[in-house]
Amino acid sequence: MTDEARAPKPATSHTKADLEAFDASLPPDDGSDAADVARGFIATRTEPVIEKIQPNEWLPVSWDLSRSDFVKGPTPDTVNPALWRQAGFNAQHGLYEICDGFYQVRGFDTSCVTFIRGDRGWVVIDPLTTTETARAAYELLTEHMGERLVTAVIYTHSHLDHYGGVLGMVDLERVESGEVPIVAPDGFLREAVAETVVAGPAMARRTTYQFGLLIPWNEHGHVDQGLGKGLPTGSSALVPPTIDITETGQELVLDGIRIEFQLTPETEAPAEMHFYFPDHRILCMAENCTATMHNVLTLRGALVRDTLMWSRYIDEALDRWGDKTDIVFASHGWPHWGGDAVRSYLTNQRDLYRWLHDQTMRLTNLGFTPNEISARIDLPSGLWNDWLCHGYYGTVSHNVRAVYQRYLGWYDGHPSSLDPYEPVEAAARYVEFMGGMDSLLENARASYEAGDHRWVAEVLRHAVFADPGCEEARLLQADAFEQLAYRAESGPWRDVYLTGAQELRNGSIDVPVMQRPRPEMARGMTLQQVFDYLAIRVDGAPAADLGHLTINWQLPDTGEIVRVELSNGTLHSTPGKSHVSPDATVSCNRTALNELVAMGGQLGDLTESGKATVSGDAERLLALWGTLTDFPIFFNIIEP
């Protein structure tokens, strides 16, 4: 096939017609969102590029503020008009004043960071994703508001973009000495590690699709996440909290600033919290209320969120603070000013998640299956007419299926779903049933020309999986994905479609990079989390052949010990306990154990270097280590 066949295509007449109809359905725009986005602007960086501490050829910079400069003017016919509007808001970047003493830096990362002037320095809320973007935000604040140290940090929840950049704003020594408290919701450390380590390799690959990490930023490519502009790259750290918020109603005074907390577990993150500043009449809603419908289940994968409790926690915040709040802000998006605007915003966000929950379960209890439900639920007019409830990030379509999944799981109730063929086997049978590849492609081409791009995308999945080398099937499916991307209001849906199209046209990514916890993450993991991570790497069948094995793992530098047991190919660990007569004993410092986790080395390498000693049945112990699986980042998605 020619290079032209692999190039991005213009919007078809059917796509243009669909986008025109969608545009006609949008609510009137009174300009209030644009005014709120621009309100309080002070300044931004003159140099748009934020350099990486450790640049590499593949991802040379951490962040480039100029990458979104193309988002201006009329909506191109390759972008959904609502997503284009949202992209324009998210493209605005710099330092903003919320009110006297409260400031935000937005647009330097997927999330935003808030700075509050305390008696001695700055209280920081959510220090972004990377050291590089956090440092740039702190430098911008310092340039315009004067030099002050960070005196406290608050993590609103357990996602990387709200804690990973902390070392760009505060030295680790000041935290470890107790000079700078770090406050987080109960369960933060457990959830921060659990989500990104146990399922980290699969999430990392799927993240390249959800956020369009490998596609260009332009009107044919990545336009916006919906929640923010995109993901930065660079160095991230996990600095454990020093103060846990364990109950709603708990209060703290940080650098002279009074704060009241509300725990909101299993909402947008498994560990999350809202908080209120009574002396300022300001409310922070973390990431439970943003400028978009959020995800009930992210496309990268995560635990399914509890929409019922999500709605109830927003309602609880309304009840506690709605009548005494003048400003509300969040960890993404922009603030809202004025009591009426605050209450309207919170009310509609509350209703949004309750609507998704209740309407899904109503149809579930009538016997409808997930895909049937997603085809039957739209937003009511009161929520559709609120631009901030639109699906720029999450969508009604995949959120209602997630609600179903939370209650009933993957099984849709139909007997044929119990034991389906795996994709390649099913694909071969589908192609045969459709009269062979030539017949399938002829019909698919006709459907494409008729504008039925959803059907083309679905049916050609079987063609590509039956014969991944069939160029005509690959390129036609890529063209269909692209047209669906142009229609998508959701930034992640657009990026997923376009990433799939790119890999169909140019081949799946094949870079020999393994996904492991970063060194900073390994240092922050508990011993239980370390050994649970090692357990998921065990290839069960060969490990089972090693028989029963008991191990005492000693850490002389911390004085800790872990009881480890291999049984039927499964690895069990209990920190603080030991076997009376172990088959083998390992002794190494925690730093050496962290090295094994982060670098993926062999235990034998540590013993040879003198960083570890092994006594007892060393042969079986080292053989166990040989069963550990490495997880490549770039496994196939769009083809078998």
d(CA 30, CA 27): 9
Picking from 283, 270, 271, the residue whose alpha carbon sits closest to that of residue 244 is 271
* SS3 label, residue 123: strand
Does the structure show a pLDDT above 80 at 511? no
Mean pLDDT for 250-278 is 98
- Give the model confidence (pLDDT) of 121-173 as tens digits: 999 999 999 999 999 999 999 999 999 999 999 999 999 999 999 999 999 99
> Residue 200: pLDDT band by 50, 70, 90 thresholds?
confident
pLDDT of 603: 92
pLDDT of 292: 98
pLDDT of 195: 74
For residue 591, the 8-state DSSP code is: H
Residues 6+ apart with CB under 8 A from 318: 343, 346, 347, 350
CA dist list (Å): 472 to 459, 502, 588, 627? 13, 14, 56, 41
Mean pLDDT for 285-292 is 98
Does the structure show a pLDDT above 90 at 60? no
Give me the helices (H) in 491-636, please.
491-506, 519-524, 527-537, 540-544, 590-599, 603-609, 618-625
Does the structure show a pLDDT above 90 at 69? yes
Mean pLDDT for 574-580 is 97
Any idea what the Cα angle at residue 622 is, between residues 621 and 623, rounded to 5°? 90
d(CA 461, CA 103): 48
Greatest alpha-carbon pair distance for the chain in Å reads: 76
For residue 94, the 8-state DSSP code is: E
* Residue whose entry in the numeric block shows the structure tokens 């009511």: 380
Mean pLDDT for 300-322 is 97
Does the structure show a pLDDT above 70 at 301? yes
- Give the model confidence (pLDDT) of 438-474 as tens digits: 999 999 999 999 999 999 999 999 999 999 999 999 9
- Give the model confidence (pLDDT) of 335-348 as tens digits: 999 999 999 999 99
d(CA 315, CA 335): 19
Picking from 285, 165, 180, the residue whose alpha carbon sits closest to that of residue 235 is 165
pLDDT of 137: 98
Are 244 and 184 in contact, with CB atoms under 8 Å apart? yes
Does the structure show a pLDDT above 90 at 50? yes
d(CA 377, CA 355): 9
> Residue 617: pLDDT band by 50, 70, 90 thresholds?
very high
Mean pLDDT for 525-531 is 91
Strands 570-575 and 560-567, sheet pairing = antiparallel
d(CA 315, CA 424): 47
pLDDT of 162: 98
User: pTM for the complete prediction?
Assistant: 0.94
Mean pLDDT for 393-400 is 98
Tokens linked to 316: 């609880």
Picking from 199, 205, 632, 636, the residue whose alpha carbon sits closest to that of residue 424 is 636
d(CA 205, CA 297): 16
pLDDT of 25: 98
Are 534 and 603 in contact, with CB atoms under 8 Å apart? no
- Give the model confidence (pLDDT) of 90-109 as tens digits: 999 999 999 999 999 999 99
CB neighbours (10 Å) of residue 570? 12
pLDDT of 455: 98
Beta-bridge partner residues of 244: 184
Burial class (CB in 10 A: 0-12, 13-18, 19+), 416: exposed
**How would you list the strands of the sheet with 612-616, edge to edge?**
570-575, 560-567, 549-555, 584-588, 612-616
- Domains of the chain (ranges, CATH numbers): 31-367+376-408 (3.60.15.30), 519-625 (3.30.1050.10)
Tokens linked to 574: 């209990």
Mean pLDDT for 421-450 is 97
CB neighbours (10 Å) of residue 209? 22
Strands 182-185 and 243-245, sheet pairing = parallel
Mean pLDDT for 191-215 is 89
> Residue 1: pLDDT band by 50, 70, 90 thresholds?
low
Mean pLDDT for 571-578 is 97
Does the structure show a pLDDT above 90 at 546? yes
Identity at 305, one-letter amino acid code: R
Mean pLDDT of the chain: 95
End-to-end CA distance of the chain: 21
Are 304 and 296 in contact, with CB atoms under 8 Å apart? yes
Phi, psi dihedrals of residue 6, rounded to the nearest 5°: -95, -5
Give me the helices (H) in 396-518, please.
396-408, 423-433, 437-449, 453-466, 471-487, 491-506
Residues 6+ apart with CB under 8 A from 629: 537, 538, 539
> Residue 354: pLDDT band by 50, 70, 90 thresholds?
very high
Are 160 and 195 in contact, with CB atoms under 8 Å apart? no
Are 386 and 27 in contact, with CB atoms under 8 Å apart? yes
